[in-house]
Amino acid sequence: MKTFQRRQVLRSAALVAAVAATGVGRAAFGEERKSVRIGYAISKTGPNAGGAGITTLPNYLLWVKDVNDAGGLELPDGKKLPIEVIEYDDRSSSEEVVRATERLATDDQVDFILAPWGTGFNLAVAPLFDRYGYPQLAVSAVTDKAPQFVQRWKKSFWMLGGGHDYAKALASILVEANKAGTINNKVAMVSVADGFGIDLVSAAGPAFKEAGIEVVYEQTYPLATSDFSPVINEAMASGADSFVAFSYPPDTFALTQQAQVASFNPKVLYLGVGTGFPVYGKNNGENATGIMSLGGIDPANKANEEYRKRHEAHTGIAPDYWGSVITYASLQMLQEAIKRKGLDREAVSAELASGTFETVLGETKFEENQLRKLWWTGQWQNGQFVGVAPSDRQGVSKVVLPRQEWKKA
């Protein structure tokens, strides 16, 4: 019995090896390439799915559709190849995203890997991208350490700035408003006790201090807090004209609603992630006007407007007002770099680092592998979340302060 089984095992092993060899051999023989293989691991389920499903995944799908509809990715010799997508759901698990990225690089051997969602995940896969030589266009990652990361991982590109950028921009807006006599220099600041909140509050503390702004109320709250009435009541009692919350989407929505119920009307209301979601503007209507947050867009940018329409038409949801357009722009840069340099990842990375590209953002160029031409602060005005800082950038909208009081529905 045993020998019979062993022969069977050996036979099937030989068969498998033969099949594998032909598969490998086929690629090695340089058979005519039929497509460009692009892979990505994205959070389709789990706690990250909300963010990834608004900022990242729809843009990946939209870009692939746009490219394939136009005939495919154009190569330097003029030939167009369709994109073949390999998608993995990382289930919002960091082990899974690392495993999936490794699989994309070694098993599927894709030509390019698109970045996952979230600062933590981008940091987790950065060593893998670097080891296997893939350029990493990290859009949904907010980190002050980008300059160091670029030194360590030469092909990484960080496209959403860092906590200090956003905090300094907010501080300068507050200082301006204080100088104009619109608000006092007191701020009530709350943050979620998680990556984003911690990152931004540790940047905001020094930034506010440097600008002479006094933080009279500071609290952190745990994830999944649903009742903010104690926090809002204390902020109301603190005498601060500005209320800043570094919050996640569920908290942002809850804070907005409970501020309305409590008739809490700070002259400056700055909330965290989620403020730039179209659903936020829709749900709050006129009451969203004047509320500020990270990100923003240039309402006069026609390319952006057309991109937003296409995004909604194809994916069914509107893009957010912060990272969505940056994600699409990053893909356009990749597409253009491939058009100029072909599918050699070294050459594409070098082109991305040094070249100038025309995207939905306008003229886009990396500065030491970082995108610095970003809207740091945005404000809801006339049904759109427009960029109001840096104030010297072309396309900026003027900050409107103080925020008007909540209107009854």
Residue 46 touches another protein, criterion: CB under 8 A: yes
> Does residue 224 belong to the site contacting another protein (CB under 8 A)?
yes
Q: Least Å distance between CB 21 and another protein?
A: 39
Counting Cα atoms < 13 Å in the Cβ hemisphere of 266 gives 30
Evaluate whether 323 touches 329 at the Cβ level (below 8 Å): no
- Closer of 193 and 300 to another protein (Cβ): 193
By CB under 8 A, is residue 225 in contact with another protein?
A: yes
- Segment contacting another protein by CB under 8 A, of 43-51, 132-140, 141-149, 377-385: 43-51
**Least distance (Å) from another protein to the CB of residue 257?**
5
Count of positions on this chain that bind another protein (CB under 8 A):
43
Residue given tokens 């990749």 in the structure block? 334
Beta carbon of residue 38, minimum distance to another protein (angstroms, whole number): 22
Q: Which two tokens mark 353?
A: 């680092």
Closest to another protein by CB, 124 vs 279, is 279
Minimum distance between the CB of residue 77 and another protein, rounded to whole angstroms? 40
Which parts of 162-191 interact with another protein (CB under 8 A)?
Answer: 190
CB of 39 to another protein, least distance (A): 20
**Burial 96-106, CB ≥16 within 10 A → b, else e:** bbbebbebbbe
Helix (H, G, I), strand (E, B) or coil at 247: coil
Which 3 state secondary structure label does DSSP give 191?
Answer: strand
H helices of 270-395, in order, are: 278-284, 302-315, 323-341, 345-354
User: What secondary structure does DSSP assign to 257-284, as a single string?
Assistant: HHHHHTT---SEEE--TTTTSHHHHHHH
Task: Write the DSSP symbol of residue 32.
Answer: P
Per CB under 8 A, which of residues 227..256 are in contact with another protein? 227, 229-231, 233-234, 249-250, 253-254
Enumerate residues 6+ apart whose C-beta is below 8 A from 335.
Answer: 63, 67, 73, 74
What is the spatial distance between Cα 41 and Cα 87, in angstroms, rounded to a whole number?
Answer: 6
Q: Which residue has the tokens 């009530």?
A: 188
Min separation Cβ 353 and another protein, Å: 34
> Applying CB under 8 A, does 277 fall inside the site for another protein?
yes
**Is residue 284 a contact point for another protein (CB under 8 A)?**
yes
User: Which residues are at the interface with another protein (CB under 8 A)?
Assistant: 43-47, 49-50, 52-54, 190, 193, 219-222, 224-227, 229-231, 233-234, 249-250, 253-254, 257-258, 260-263, 274, 277, 279, 283-284, 317, 408-409
